[in-house]
Amino acid sequence: MAISPAPAKAALTLGPLLFNWPARERQDFYARIADEAPVDAVCLGEVVCGKRTPFFAADLPAMAERLRRAGKQVVWSTLALVVGGRDGEAVHAVCAGADDAAGDLVEANDFGAVALLAGRSHAIGPFVNVYNEGTLHHLALNGAQRITLPFELPGQSIRALAAAAEPVELPVELEVQIFGRTPLAISARCYHARTQGRSKNACDFVCDMDPDGMDVETLEGQSFLAINGTQTLSHAIGNLAREVPELMGMGVGRFRLSPHQIDMVAVARIFRAVLDGRIDGAEADARLAELAPFAPFANGFFHGHEGAAQVDPDSALSD
54 to 61, 63, 148, 207, 255: CA distances (angstroms): 13, 15, 27, 15, 29
Length of the chain: 319
pLDDT level of residue 40 (50, 70, 90 thresholds): very high
**What pTM, to 2 d.p., does this model score?**
0.93
DSSP structure string for 18-66: -S---HHHHHHHHHHHHHH---SEEEES-SS-GGGGGGTGGGHHHHHHH
CB 145 within 8 A of CB 170: yes
Query: Taking a C-beta distance cutoff of 8 angstroms, is the pair 277, 309 a contact?
Result: no
Closest CA to 268 of 183, 179, 176: 179
Domains of the chain: 11-183+236-318 (3.20.20.70)
- pLDDT value of position 2: 45
- Residue 8 has a pLDDT of 54
Please compute the mean of the pLDDT values over residues 183-194 and round it to a whole number: 90
Distances (CA, A) of 35 to 31, 39, 59, 68, 71: 6, 10, 17, 11, 10
Q: Mean pLDDT over residues 127-143, rounded?
A: 93
pLDDT band at 163 (very low <50, low <70, confident <90, very high): confident
Cβ atoms < 10 Å from Cβ of 89: 12
pLDDT tier for residue 201 given thresholds of 50, 70 and 90: confident
Q: pLDDT of 210-248, one tens digit each? A: 999 999 988 888 888 999 999 999 999 999 999 999 999
Q: What share of the chain is helix, strand, coil (3-state, %, to 5)?
A: 40, 20, 40
